[in-house]
Amino acid sequence: MLTPNTAGLCLALLTALFWGALPLAVKQLLPVMDAVTIVCLRFCVVAVWIWICPEHAAPRPCGRLSRRDVVLLVLATVGLGANFVLFNTSVGYLSASACQILAQAGPMLLLLGGVFLLHEPFLPIQGFSAATLVAGLLLFFNTRLLELFTGSGDFAFGMLLGLSAAFVWASYGVAQKVLLRVTTPTRILRVIYPCCALGLLPASSPSEVLDLNFFQGCCLAFASINTIVAYGAFTKAMNIWHSAKVSAVLTTTTLFTLALEYLGHAIFPEVFPLESLSLISAFGAAAVILGALGIAMGPMLHAPHISFHRTGKQK
């Protein structure tokens, strides 16, 4: 029988593993499927799951949503749908590891959104960690900064897509934070997932599934169940473990992507091309991970301060 700490750690690591492997699978699909179709199919699968799964079939009763809450729910739906599309599209222009490095900007933007929009406390360690994360991003992409700032080339476009994905994810996160004061995560997702699937369906091309070979079909199946497994493990981890610890473990997602990218290249070099990292880029990746870790762990390291300022606002 696992203790809550061990079970929480294992579930959080499982989430990080699945999220870390996702861009590698998506990268195999993009040559024959567009990102909108991939995302639409993923949302269809997870929407069916969250409606038929007994664990989520009957969320506890909640009060009616106000007009403001409905607007926030729409914002959260658009934000999550746009995040999926932008992130999956960016994988076609960047390496899987680069996409995950850029995704770490999401927690920093969510932190800033919470500070400026929700008036949450801004801890010194989080400010230092945010600065470390930004410095790490610049170091990781040091050889491409000129291309980025001139806005030329596919790489710059891919970075723009990745940063946009992080921004809209933060918008989704801020909206969800407010909604969680009046409703449950399951109730929110039971609306978001089907709406995203239906919203993307007119722009998708499901017939492209017929063009997949066996390996690509396996990648699509993995991408489709990825959200189910990762979300399920994440939810259970949050229920039995401290949220800051779960968030801290999830910063290893980038490490899983890097490790899987190198492993895939070692076994199938023609299928998983590898973008070699310089020493400066590797140091930048480490700085990004440490920065994200500091943002996640900040509230736990200052628990008395957080409790004093958030009484009655956040659980």
How many domains, the chain? Answer: 1
Q: Are 112 and 296 in contact (CB under 8 A)?
A: no
Q: Let me know if residue 215 belongs to a domain.
A: yes
Q: Is the pLDDT of residue 56 over 90?
A: no
Q: Are 255 and 20 in contact (CB under 8 A)?
A: yes
Q: Is the pLDDT of residue 245 over 90?
A: no
Q: Let me know if residue 314 belongs to a domain.
A: no
Per 3-state DSSP, what percentage of the chain is helix, strand, and coil (rounded to 5)? 80, 0, 20
- C-alpha span between 17 and 21 (Å, rounded): 6
Q: Let me know if residue 253 belongs to a domain.
A: yes
Question: Among 7-16, 226-235, 296-305, which is the least confidently predicted range?
Answer: 296-305
For 207, the token pair is: 């017939």
Q: Let me know if residue 309 belongs to a domain.
A: no
Per-residue pLDDT tens digits for 65-85: 789 999 999 999 999 999 999
Q: Let me know if residue 263 belongs to a domain.
A: yes
How high is the pLDDT of residue 123? 84
- C-alpha span between 252 and 12 (Å, rounded): 10
Q: Let me know if residue 268 belongs to a domain.
A: yes
End-to-end Cα separation, the chain, in angstroms: 28
> Structural domain of residue 297, as residue ranges?
4-302
How high is the pLDDT of residue 253? 93
Higher-confidence residue: 28 or 123? Answer: 28
Q: Is the pLDDT of residue 163 over 80?
A: yes
- Count of Cβ atoms closer than 10 Å to residue 125 Cβ: 14
Q: Tell me which residue of 262, 260, 234, 243 sits closest to 300, measured CA to CA.
A: 243
Q: Let me know if residue 193 belongs to a domain.
A: yes
- 275: which DSSP letter? -
How high is the pLDDT of residue 299? 67
Q: Let me know if residue 310 belongs to a domain.
A: no
